[in-house]
């Protein structure tokens, strides 16, 4: 029986500290590794390993080692790949980094998976077992979202997770929007938004055995009617769930009422900016600044926990953006926010323009390292001023006096506890200058 090790690569602590960033327990039970295990053909002995928890088992024999990574964890993936290849294992690499960095990744493995893993990953394992593994496997068609195999939750070591263990569930892929700075849609082949049948999502929720669910999708509400059908079917499950969806659905009271009844605990929204002009340049005109207050009131009166994402560094942003954004957040008592420097990611119109104009800074290292960094020359401030401003926003917003001014203490509901958990975790981010991310998977 061939042995397969599936690894999720950690990030390095910094550009100068090439040690993996380790944590004691994860907050989310990720879906990537158990889903890859579910794609494996019958007859494989499979083990999962989370590199963020502990060092991989280099001394154990494996026929194939599959490592999934993002750009920020790619160098760590290459380090592990070299060690396992030196021990005789065939190494397969894959993940979002492969889409725009194919040649780079292919140089560090025996086989590279580019695109969605359905059909490709099982074929790679069969070829590896038969001694015919090719260098690059690429999927150029969208995978069907019907009949996806159930993740192998039985292979996950639950001791690596917090006690309430929110499970990540696949609901959809892609995004119906085309924001100027976001590469998410292009990472999967630019096939638009696709969601799974509601019945299959419900069965996955039942199978995981958890009562806290996080939907792994850049946009939870792509097809409103089908999404509301899913929410109706979730009501009997009595779970608490979190997701990311557009602020415009925070104005839809019928949707929010149903979402609340189905167990909505926390929603993360891509606000991006409090300037309508900046949103227009981002191709984010679906957001309307003059509706933000109504949207916040809708969430508050239903006691729904929420957080906002901001992207700072657009060509319309001046040094005033930092204080103006913070003042808005404090005035509205927004529970939690994520402050990100605009990055010209490969595959986006923003990247094409920045490349043509010679504004990209250190492209080789773009998005490679944890922390707040600037990779595109801003128009109205220096790169150093932009980074310093974002760091200052984080520290001020998550200072204890400001947190106490926004959140209810002591907490009295699940939503209160969710707000406090997000704030406390982001206080650690602000203090340590690690990467500001909404999710861990």
Q: Is the dihedral of CA 37, 47, 9, 398 positive or negative?
A: positive
The pLDDT of residue 51 is: 98
Cα 125 to Cα 137: distance, rounded to the nearest angstrom: 11
Q: What is the CATH topology of the domain spanning 167-432?
A: TIM Barrel (3.20.20)
From the list 98, 146, 106, 113, the residue with the least C-alpha distance to 346 is 98
**What gap in Å lies between CA 70 and CA 283, rounded to an integer?**
25
Q: Compute the distance between CA of residue 36 and CA of residue 122 in angstroms, rounded to an integer.
A: 9
Return residue ranges of the chain for CATH 3.20.20.70: 167-432
Instruction: Please state the pTM of the whole predicted model.
Output: 0.94
- Cα 340 to Cα 59, 260, 289: the distances in Å are 39, 29, 19
> How many other β-carbons are positioned within 10 Å of the β-carbon of residue 371?
18
**Any idea how long the chain is?**
441
| CA–CA gap between residue 173 and residue 192 (Å, rounded) | 8
Given its phi and psi angles, is residue 134 left (phi above 0), alpha (psi -120 to 50 degrees) or beta?
Answer: beta
- Note whether 263 and 214 are within 8 A (CB): no
pLDDT of 437? 39
292 by Cβ neighbours in 10 Å (0-12 / 13-18 / 19+) ranks as buried
The distance from CA 245 to its chain's CA centroid, rounded to whole angstroms, is 13
CA distance 236 to 262: 8
Per CATH, the homologous superfamily of domain 3-138 is: Response regulator (3.40.50.2300)
pLDDT in tens, the chain (441 residues): 999 999 999 999 999 999 999 999 999 999 999 999 999 999 999 999 999 999 999 999 999 999 999 999 999 999 999 999 999 999 999 999 999 999 999 999 999 999 999 999 999 999 999 999 999 999 888 899 999 999 999 999 999 999 889 999 999 998 888 899 998 877 766 778 899 999 999 999 999 999 999 998 889 999 999 999 999 999 999 999 999 999 999 999 999 999 999 999 999 999 999 999 999 999 998 999 999 999 999 999 999 999 999 999 999 999 999 999 999 999 999 999 999 999 999 989 999 999 999 999 999 999 999 889 999 999 999 999 999 999 999 999 999 999 999 999 999 999 999 999 999 989 888 877 554 433 333
Q: State CA 195 to chain mean position distance.
A: 17
Give the integer Cα–Cα distance in Å for 85 and 76: 14
In this prediction, residue 438 carries a pLDDT of 35
Q: Is 33 within 8 Å of 8 (Cβ atoms)?
A: yes
Q: What is the C-alpha separation between 127 and 98, in angstroms, rounded?
A: 20
Alpha carbon 169 to chain centroid, angstroms: 13
Q: Where in the chain is the domain with CATH 3.40.50.2300?
A: 3-138
Using CA atoms, how far residue 158 sits from 28, 279, 399, in Å, is 11, 41, 33
Owner of token pair 């990611």: 345
């Amino acid at each position: 029986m061939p042995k397969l090790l599936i690894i999720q690569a950690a990030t390095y602590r910094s550009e100068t500290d090439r040690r993996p960033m380790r944590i004691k327990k994860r907050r989310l039970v990720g879906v990537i590794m158990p889903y890859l295990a579910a794609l494996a053909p019958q007859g494989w002995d499979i083990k999962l390993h989370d590199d963020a928890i502990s060092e991989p088992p280099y001394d154990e024999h494996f026929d194939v080692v599959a490592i999934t990574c993002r750009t920020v964890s790619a160098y760590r993936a290459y380090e592990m790949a070299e060690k396992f290849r030196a021990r005789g294992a065939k190494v397969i690499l894959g993940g979002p980094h492969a889409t725009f960095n194919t040649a780079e990744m292919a140089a560090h493995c025996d086989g590279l998976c580019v695109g969605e893993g359905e059909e490709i990953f099982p074929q790679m394992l069969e070829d590896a077992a038969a001694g015919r593994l090719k260098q690059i496997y690429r999927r150029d068609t969208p995978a069907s979202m019907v009949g996806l195999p159930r993740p192998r939750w039985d292979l996950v070591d639950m001791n690596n997770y917090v006690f309430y263990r929110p499970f990540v569930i696949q609901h959809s892929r892609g995004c119906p929007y085309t924001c100027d700075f976001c590469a998410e849609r292009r990472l999967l082949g630019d096939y638009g938004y696709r969601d799974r049948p509601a019945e299959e999502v419900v069965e996955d929720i039942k199978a995981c055995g958890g009562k806290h669910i996080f939907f792994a999708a850049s946009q939870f509400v792509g097809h409103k009617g089908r999404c509301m059908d899913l929410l109706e079917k979730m009501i009997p499950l009595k779970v608490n769930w979190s997701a990311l969806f557009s602020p415009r659905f925070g104005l839809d009271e019928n949707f929010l009422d149903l979402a609340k009844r189905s167990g909505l605990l926390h929603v993360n929204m891509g606000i991006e900016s409090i300037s309508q002009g900046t949103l227009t340049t981002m191709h984010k005109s679906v957001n309307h600044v003059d509706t933000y207050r109504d949207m916040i009131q809708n969430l508050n009166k239903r006691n729904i926990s929420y957080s906002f994402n901001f992207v700072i560094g657009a060509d319309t942003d001046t040094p005033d953006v930092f204080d103006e954004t913070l003042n808005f957040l404090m005035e509205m008592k927004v529970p939690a926010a994520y402050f990100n420097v605009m990055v010209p990611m490969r595959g986006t119109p923003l990247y094409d323009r920045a490349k043509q104009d010679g504004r990209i800074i250190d492209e080789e290292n773009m998005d490679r390292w944890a922390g707040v960094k600037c990779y595109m020359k801003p128009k109205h401030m220096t790169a150093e001023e932009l980074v310093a401003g974002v760091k200052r926003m984080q520290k001020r917003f998550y200072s204890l006096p400001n947190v106490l001014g926004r959140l209810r203490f002591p907490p009295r509901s699940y939503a209160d506890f969710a707000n406090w958990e997000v704030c406390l975790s982001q206080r650690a981010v602000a203090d340590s200058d690690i990467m500001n991310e909404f999710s861990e998977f």
